Amino acid sequence: MRILVAGLIAFGVLIGLVSPAQAALPSWPNVKIGQTGDNVLTAQHLLRHRGYNIAADGDFGSGTQAAVKQFQTANGLSSDGEIGPNTWPKLIVSVQRGNNSEAVRAAQVQLNRYGYGLSVDGDFGGGTHNAAVAFQSSKGLEADGIVGPNTWQTLVGGTPSSGGGSYSLPLARSALPRSEYDDPHHDYPAIDLPVNTVPAYAAVTGTAYRINDSSCGYGLRIVKNGVDYIYCHFSGWSVANGAAVRAGDRVGTTGNTGNSTGPHLHFAIKISGTSYCPQNFLLAIYDGRTPPTPSSLPRTGCFY
């Protein structure tokens, strides 16, 4: 019987009835208390869409767990408080152009995991539609722009690739041209990237610590092997303080907080308090090359 079913699927792929991607969707992840990140944030927006009054902060705490248990009970599921392969299909909501809701925010969070750089505003407009079509096309899905069950599963269960393998640009590639990544900072080794309220991503895998002061505003310090990768002027965070993050994970939204003359992302690299020019580091990631070690970067004269 298994041979017959496999043969039918293969025949379906051959004649175009079933695409290879649709025949083998990624597994739904298991999301539970104590976890942080975009899949948690996605689940929270979906729960809010369904009327649960919880924070959408990307931190799976006791409030989110209680809402998940209530949702599971209401939908005839085992109320273990974990969002796994039985809960995700009940929780997702199909969304498309013209919708405006928390479920659209959830879809935008997921599309941004793959570098589409959308504003998470809940408005399924042309930009979100185009991103959904591009994502579907890249995964062999029906490119209709509707985020339905197969697209949701591919989004949530998939693993985004990032710029240099173990590295990622701090912004979606579409947010700025390459020429913006070689500009010098105005007074010390760093870079200011002119964007407003777009997602910011972890450049490296490490541990994230929130910053909140009058100079940096809402910011983040990602620590890896004794090197600090610093982000400033966020409008908000997407990860909890002390969270483990991977290169390419969303860590915040850019803005204009702190000592800032206009909306931008300030990005810096420091080792033991000494600043190193990040431009060559970022340009290498943009070009798909392994970036130089931070300690080899210049400490003055960030002009290229």
Here the CATH number for the domain that contains residue 148 is 1.10.101.10
d(CA 259, CA 256): 8
Q: Are residues 238 and 278 in the same domain?
A: yes
Given a cut of 50, whether residue 294 has pLDDT beyond it is: yes
Segment 188-236, tens digit of pLDDT = 899 999 999 999 999 998 999 999 999 999 999 999 999 999 999 999 9
Determine the pLDDT at residue 9.
44
What rounded mean pLDDT belongs to the chain? Answer: 87
234 alpha-carbon distance from chain centroid: 15
Q: Which domain holds residue 256?
A: 173-296
Domain assignment present for residue 24? The answer is: yes
Tokens coding 260: 């800032």
Determine the pLDDT at residue 193.
95
DSSP β-bridge partners for residue 276 = 269
Q: Evaluate whether 284 touches 218 at the Cβ level (below 8 Å).
A: no
Q: Are residues 234 and 201 in the same domain?
A: yes
Residue type, 122: G
Determine the pLDDT at residue 303.
59
Instruction: Give the count of beta carbons closer than 10 Å to the beta carbon of residue 37.
Output: 24
Given a cut of 80, whether residue 177 has pLDDT beyond it is: yes
d(CA 282, CA 186): 18
Which helix or strand (DSSP H or E) is residue 268 part of?
strand 265-271
CA nearest to 238, candidates 91, 115, 112:
112
Given a cut of 70, whether residue 8 has pLDDT beyond it is: no
Measured CA distances, 155 to 20, 44, 109, 113, 245 (Å) = 16, 16, 10, 8, 18
Domain CATH number, residue 189: 2.70.70.10
Specify the residue for token string 């990040």.
278
- Higher-confidence residue of 21 and 99: namely 99
Given a cut of 80, whether residue 16 has pLDDT beyond it is: no
Q: The whole model's pTM is what?
A: 0.56
